[in-house]
Amino acid sequence: MDHRIHQVPQHQALQLPAQQKPKNTAQSTVDFQSILAKEQELKVSKHATERMNERNIHLNDKQWQAISEKMQEAKQKGVTDSLVVTDQAALVVSAKNNTVVTAMAREEATSRIFTNINGTILIND
């Protein structure tokens, strides 16, 4: 067996076609902003939707917007699961997933113990 090192001639580097840059960078910025907005959008789980329907809980757009904004603030402070209390309802919300997990009428919530939350948000209408 030959243990000598052999010189291998260098080959020309492969020439790959230049990647095309997007022509409209404003469009890509808008796309990113829409994706980010969608990611921050508060979702309602199937379970929470059923509970809200059963308990006749209706929140308007302004209330949902306030809840969503406060959840983003809470998330920035390290809250992962939160109890959100409004005049009408108490919602358990996962800040990690931006999802309302369950909901109950405010009157129902007064005699309950909430576990596995690490933050509370009070919203006055």
Q: Would you list the domain boundaries of the chain?
A: 41-122
Higher-confidence residue: 83 or 111? 83
* Per-residue confidence band for 46, with pLDDT thresholds at 50, 70 and 90: very high
Q: What is the pTM of this model?
A: 0.68
Q: What local confidence, expressed as pLDDT, does residue 53 receive?
A: 94
Instruction: Assess whether pLDDT exceeds 90 at residue 50.
Output: yes
Q: Is 91 helix (H, G, I), strand (E, B) or coil?
A: strand
Instruction: Assess whether pLDDT exceeds 80 at residue 12.
Output: no
